[in-house]
Amino acid sequence: MRLDEQRSKAAQDEVILPITVRIPAAIRMTGIGRSKLYQLIARGEIDMAKIGTATLITVESLQRLVERNRR
């Protein structure tokens, strides 16, 4: 395999993890309901960004939420 083919394959195999997700994905990821998610956003417990019409939730803030509430 040529070097440029190897680099191309390596780039295709690279997994890029999202830093934000939309509301439906955040609900699926956490298992909490839509209303509860919006309550947590309003209380500042979950970080969000509004870009155009998209409401994006940071994956990091979802992970922190779960860690804070672990037992």
The proportion of the chain whose per-residue pLDDT surpasses 90, expressed as a percent, equals: 75
Q: How far apart are CA 15 and CA 45, in angstroms?
A: 28
What CATH number is given to the structural domain containing 50? Answer: 1.10.1660.10
What stretches in the chain show pLDDT beneath 50?
none
pTM summary value: 0.76
For the chain, how many structural domains are there in total? 1
**CA–CA distance from 38 to each of 21, 27, 60 (Å)?**
14, 10, 17
Helices (H) and strands (E) counted in the chain, each on its own, are 4, 3
**Domain span at 52:** 14-68
State the angle between helix axes of 23-30 and 34-42 in degrees (0 to 180), rounded to the nearest 10.
Answer: 100
Check residue 30 and give its pLDDT. 95
50-66 pLDDT, tens digit per residue, is 999 999 999 999 999 99
Asked if residue 30 belongs to a domain, the reply is yes
Confirm whether 7 is domain-assigned.
Answer: no
Question: Taking Cα atoms as reference points, which of 25, 19, 15, 31 lies closest to residue 59?
Answer: 19
Q: Which two tokens stand for residue 63?
A: 């992970």
